[in-house]
């Protein structure tokens, strides 16, 4: 049972990571995003934030659906992990240069990490706990 719980949380996190990185790569290949290591405009970081929010909601939904029981608890753990990782990312890239984006971008990733709860609510809001 514990393995299924861990897989539910990991599955949600993995879906978020893959979708985000895949979208980044597609936008880079199509010349919309700058090549890796090159600065981008605030507007493009805004676009990245927008689709990451959507993918974060989906990751909460997926985690809740995969949870063997207590989906709310699983989504809360995913939320805490995501917030912690976004915070670590912000701390480690804060003064690394413009290629890591404007200062608001890592803060936006921290602040929006809890939208996983919206995705989870789509599952357990219907009465499933």
Whether 128 has a pLDDT exceeding 60, the answer reads: no
pTM summary value: 0.92
pLDDT of residue 10: 97
38 half-sphere exposure, CB direction, 13 A CA radius = 10
Q: Residues 39-94: pLDDT tens digits?
A: 999 999 999 999 999 999 999 999 999 999 999 999 999 999 999 999 999 999 99
Q: What is the rounded average pLDDT of the residues 35-39?
A: 90
Q: Check residue 117 and give left, alpha or beta (phi > 0: left; psi -120 to 50: alpha).
A: alpha
Whether 34 has a pLDDT exceeding 70, the answer reads: yes
- Map tokens 């927008």 to a residue: 50
């Amino acid at each position: 049972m514990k393995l299924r719980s861990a897989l539910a949380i990991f599955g949600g996190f993995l879906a978020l990571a893959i979708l985000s990185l895949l979208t980044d790569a597609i936008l880079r290949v199509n010349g919309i995003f700058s090549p890796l290591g090159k600065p981008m405009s605030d507007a493009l970081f805004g676009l990245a934030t927008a689709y990451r929010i959507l993918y974060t909601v989906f990751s909460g939904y997926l985690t809740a659906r995969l949870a063997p029981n207590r989906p709310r608890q699983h989504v809360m753990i995913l939320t805490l992990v995501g917030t912690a990782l976004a915070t670590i990312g912000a701390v480690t890239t804060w003064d690394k240069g413009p290629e890591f984006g404007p200062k608001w971008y890592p803060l936006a990733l921290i602040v929006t990490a809890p939208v996983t709860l919206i995705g989870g609510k789509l599952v357990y809001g219907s009465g499933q706990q």
